[in-house]
């Protein structure tokens, strides 16, 4: 599998994101906090990571929820997946929301999301008056399922 090198600045006290296993597609992002942060039910907050990166042109980073936080604490990422564009140079932040009915606490250095690096293609519109036919045609949500 090809590996790309990405310049990164780490202003947190946490280790750089890393793949936990050889087959992992995401790297964990950690909270760059001085103190624990309390989230009330349905509260959302932008959590800093202390990370700044320079993605190569033609790539994006996607910020996604961690399944462990979702099942254990009811925490997930809003606007998921969040997109980090190649020309963004600001701090990577994670928008977390507490969907549980209980107060949840995020600890400094806690793994709060995962980041996946993806190749992207650019599209160009070709305006036309008619589209080709397909088996699905205009069938919408739930159209292909039988139950």
In a domain, 35, yes or no: yes
Domain that holds residue 24: 9-119
Q: Name the pTM for this structure.
A: 0.88
Q: What is the CATH number of the domain that holds 68?
A: 2.70.40.10
In a domain, 50, yes or no: yes
* pLDDT tens by residue, the chain, 147 residues: 778 999 999 999 999 999 999 999 999 999 999 999 999 999 999 999 999 999 999 999 999 999 999 999 999 999 899 999 999 999 999 999 999 999 999 999 999 999 999 999 999 999 999 999 888 777 777 666 665
Domain count, the chain: 1
In a domain, 71, yes or no: yes
Tell whether omega for the bond before 30 is within 30 degrees of 0, i.e. cis: no
In a domain, 139, yes or no: no
In a domain, 135, yes or no: no
In a domain, 124, yes or no: no
Q: How far apart are CA 111 and CA 70, in angstroms?
A: 12
In a domain, 128, yes or no: no
- Could you identify the residue written with the tokens 């998921």? 80
């Amino acid at each position: 599998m090809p590996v790309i090198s990405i310049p990164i600045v780490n202003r947190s006290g946490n280790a750089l994101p890393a793949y936990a296993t050889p087959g992992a597609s995401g790297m964990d992002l950690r909270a760059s906090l001085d103190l624990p942060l309390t989230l009330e039910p349905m509260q959302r907050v932008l959590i800093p990571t202390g990370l700044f990166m320079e993605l190569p042109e033609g790539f994006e980073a996607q910020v996604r929820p961690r399944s462990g936080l979702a099942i254990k604490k009811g925490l997930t990422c809003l606007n998921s997946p969040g997109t980090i564009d190649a020309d963004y140079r600001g701090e990577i932040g994670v928008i977390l929301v507490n969907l549980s009915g209980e107060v949840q606490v995020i600890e400094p250095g806690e793994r709060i999301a995962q980041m996946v690096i993806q190749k992207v293609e650019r599209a160009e519109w070709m305006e036309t008056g008619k589209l080709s036919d397909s088996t699905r045609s205009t069938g919408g949500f739930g159209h292909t399922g039988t139950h």
